[in-house]
Structure 1
Amino acid sequence: MDTLLAIFNSKVVLTILIPLLLLSIKYLAVKGVRKRAKSKREDRRDLVNNIKNFLNFLMIILLLGIWASEIQQFALSIAAFAVAIVLATREFIQCLIGFFYLISTRPFRIGDWIQVGEFVGEVNATDWIKTTLLEVDLETYQYTGKTLFIPNNKLISSAIKNLNFLKRYATHRFTIVRDESVNPFVFLDELLAKANSYCEDFHDVAVRYNQIIERRLDVKITGPDPSIRVATSELGDTEVEFTIFCPTDRALEIEHALTADFMHMWFAQKALLPAS
């Protein structure tokens, strides 16, 4: 009896000491990596996330090893309720499976921009249960300030789109709609020259980045030169669509500049029309 009590007490002590030790190691390791990354101005969130997940996994394995015999006896005693337990914890189990799918296939890394279903954001952290995203608005390529917590089971049931290339350069499209009173082909060449001038300072980098994306995806993508397409809507209005391959942080700036140029040219041309 005394021997059993001693064994039990030693297991309790180890159960307390192991988490304290591993949590201390995790705290010091994460603090060290972040301090080093800050001094070198590097993004090491992926390494921090891997350290946390590895030490959490190690802690669970060690605790299971300590209490393996007790857990086995407990599992046998509740075998009759196994089906009910599986059904009750189905979502939790699916999240665990989703985590193992994530670490085995590596569809994205910390810092990547991804889309899961209708949710878009930058991957900030992953753990056994969820993936944390910092929401990104693809219309403006800006952070919305919202944090999304995606259960890992969604990674299995939903398509994952890796949008990481959009972090630096994006194929930005926008459309201006006006009535049919002015022929835009009159000033289309001048407008295209304006678009090229706005993209001139980063044109060489855009060409190289465009080629990198095409090599990795093994497909031909739009760009890097700007293009303008003129069409008509179902109501008969004139639609002018711009396609610009540019840095994401300058997409709105270039869109506003081209919109201003278009409006100036459109109204100038309209002023030349005879009064009706």
Structure 2
Amino acid sequence: MNWPQLSALLNAFAHTEPGRMIATLASISIAAILWRISKKRARLSSSSMLDVEHRRGNLVLAKNLIIGATLLAVGSIWATKIAGAALSLAAVAGAVLIVSKEFLSNVLGSAMLAISRPYRVGDFIEMGEATGRVLDTDLLVTTIAETLEGHQLTGRTAVLPNSLLLTHPVKNLTATGAYVINLLSIAVIPSEDLLALEKTLLKAAREVCFPWLADADHHLKQLESRDLVNLPSAEPRVLMELNHAHEATLVLRYSCRPNDRVKVEQAILRAFLQQRCVVAGRQHRDARALAEAA
């Protein structure tokens, strides 16, 4: 068999259903390989030459180009079939839209969930006015165990239509996985020694969080390298907010496992109060000693 005959045979096979399927699978496989190569190159890029945000921007651009080229290739492969089915699909879509707009919105929301994966089972999320831990997802709804502040379970469940993904922002409160960053706000009187209170709160947080600080910091650094994002350190930090003349706020940033947030928060508060009482008692004794000496 000479080359013209082989070329004609391959061309005829490419226009058959098996030929189109093989060509489609080949296009998707090539796209997946290119995407993995792009991610690997972005991770291995020297941080001294390109910062994290720049590398992430290049990676997003590469992803969009790969997706666009793959869609163009697949569309070209199935062009004749698409043209023939377009009218029928339009009629079916119109009928579905008329019969059940909400059903179609939920299906589109499920498609968005499958593609973008904003959350998974076990994550704590906030969507609309509901906050809770994801228990189940299906074609139409997401079921969550409702929680209050601090991830405290209420014992109730909430069923959220997947159409909310199309109209409401979703906050994944445990997006960093094994260890999460939490904030604890403590209101104090501005006339108090804020620097001393800051040291006391930091000491309490470090004592409570010390057993897992190294693991949490390693985990967050791995996420930075893998996902090309800037994440805070696992080391406890305190920020001061002078809201007005009668109130100040110490905001503690600390790390812990998602399921231990309430326990760790309470442990930090108790350690802070105990150490504050110790300091206050020492100051009171020193003041009394000075008064007696005078």
TM-score relative to the length of structure 1? 0.58
1:218 deviates by 2.4
Cα 1:212–1:257 change in 2 (3 A) is: farther
1:222 deviates by 2.3
Aligned residue among 254, 263, 275 for 2:267: 254
Gap runs ≥5 in structure 1: 1-78
Give the structure 1 partner of residue 215 of structure 2: 205
Give the structure 1 partner of residue 180 of structure 2: 170
Give the structure 2 partner of residue 98 of structure 1: 109
Whole-angstrom CA distance in 1 between matches of 2:241 and 2:282: 18
Give the structure 2 partner of residue 195 of structure 1: 205
Q: What one-letter code is carried by the residue in structure 2 that aligns with 1:261?
A: Q
Q: What one-letter code is carried by the residue in structure 2 that aligns with 1:112?
A: D
Conservation of the 8 A alpha-carbon contact between 1:187 and 1:265: no
Gap runs ≥5 in structure 2: 1-90
* Per-residue deviation, residues 17-41 of structure 1 (Å, max 9, x unmatched): xxxxxxxxxxxxxxxxxxxxxxxxx
Q: What one-letter code is carried by the residue in structure 2 that aligns with 1:233?
A: N
Aligned residue among 217, 221, 238 for 2:248: 238
Whole-angstrom CA distance in 1 between matches of 2:172 and 2:155: 20
Whole-angstrom CA distance in 2 between matches of 1:89 and 1:254: 51
Whole-angstrom CA distance in 2 between matches of 1:238 and 1:100: 46
Aligned residue among 125, 132, 137 for 1:121: 132
Cα 1:266–1:182 change in 2 (3 A) is: farther
Aligned residue among 212, 219, 230 for 1:220: 230
1:191 deviates by 4.2
Q: What one-letter code is carried by the residue in structure 1 that aligns with 2:206?
A: N
Whole-angstrom CA distance in 2 between matches of 1:187 and 1:94: 51
Give the structure 2 partner of residue 142 of structure 1: 152
* Per-residue deviation, residues 149-193 of structure 1 (Å, max 9, x unmatched): 111211222223333346642222222222234213246435433
Q: What one-letter code is carried by the residue in structure 2 that aligns with 1:117?
A: G
Q: What one-letter code is carried by the residue in structure 1 that aligns with 2:264?
A: A
Aligned pairs, number: 195
Cα 1:146–1:270 change in 2 (3 A) is: farther
Identity across the alignment (%) = 25
